[in-house]
Amino acid sequence: MNAEPVRVHVLTLGGTIAMTARDAGQGVVPALDAADLLASLPAAPAGVHLSHGDFRRLPGAHLTLPDVVDLRAEIDRSAARGCDGVVVTQGTDTLEETAFALDLLGGGDTPVVVTGALRHPGRPGTDGPANLLDAVRVAASEAAVGTGVTVVFNGEVHSARYVQKRHTERPSAFASPGLGPLGWVTEDRVRIPLRPARVPPLPLPAPAGPAPVALVTAVLGDDVRLLPHLPDLGYEGAVLAGFGAGHLPNRTVADAEALAARIPVVLASRTGAGELYRNTYDFPGSERDLLARGLIGAGAVSPLKARVLLSLALGAGLSREAVAAACDALSA
């Protein structure tokens, strides 16, 4: 008797992978649907049954966290219907944040793979079909079961927790600084030798949705004078992307402390890789000083992803202590 096929559901959100020009000489816009994208594949991998659905048709820059919360619910419904794996295609502008949010909100073992393209279908060497085919292979693979949400580009399998977009246009734009890929696809085979420890999922945000969270980056010579005004602008939390291992200019320290007394403030490193220090430097505005003033250390979570985490956590009513514990768990 033949084995049952592996069922993989493909959900499309738009993005470069789905973009074409309406008229000759015009710029590209999201126009292709899920059926169009699947038609670009030579064939489904052997033993895989593909289904599809159009979830959104937007540039990646237009997606929001409420879109991602809704997407997580649709993924969970697909798994409940018996799908063995889910592939999500979207624009690369916000892909690292979407994948991370999906991972934070999901705790099941069903493989969820996010992919897209750096070169739209009208360009020579478009990478969309190859990325989509590799993503389907990963979603259908037993090796991907229980790995959490992964991102597949350029033949590499990355953890949503660590992956970052590092270039505007190269097919190799996605990388995991400090860690590298979890695995790869070669000769149609999926290899995933590394498996990050899973962490408990965050609860879904309340009906009001994810909380508004500001991301402020420290730069040379800036006094970050907008910090005291963030709560009055409606922000319920803030992420400060500090220098190096977690430092701010000394002239911003009082404002950062006052802000942390009003709303949760997460301190991350603007470098985007490595772990925030806790107990090394001891000057005003150092990590020791700022954490003692009530800021929450992001650990190894990048500023972009710390903002996603804080927004979802506050939207679900979690405390500062729970946010700190989540950052610690994601850095383990």
Q: How far apart are the first and last CA of the chain?
A: 45
Beta bridge partners of 153: 156
Are the C-beta atoms of residues 239 and 215 closer than 8 Å to each other?
A: yes
Q: Tell me whether strands 48-58 and 6-14 are parallel, antiparallel or unpaired.
A: parallel
| CA nearest to 190, candidates 48, 291, 35 | 48
Helical segments of the chain, H only: 34-39, 65-80, 95-105, 128-139, 253-260, 287-292, 303-315, 320-330
Token readout for 206 is: 């309340």
C-alpha distance from residue 30 to each of 33, 38, 59, 89, 293 (Å):
9, 15, 7, 12, 46
Helices (H), 83-173: 95-105, 128-139
Number of H helices and E strands in the chain, helices first, is 8, 16
Q: Residue 248 has what DSSP assignment?
A: -
- What is the C-alpha radius of gyration for the chain, rounded to an integer number of angstroms? 21
Give the Cα separation of 121 and 127 in Å (integer): 8
For 102, the 3-state DSSP assignment is: helix
Instruction: Identify whether the C-beta of residue 198 lies closer than 8 Å to the C-beta of residue 146.
Output: yes
Of 110, 113, 45, 48, nearest to 82 by C-alpha is 110
Q: What amino acid positions are annotated as catalytic residues? A: 16
Q: Cβ distance 121 to 20 under 8 Å?
A: yes
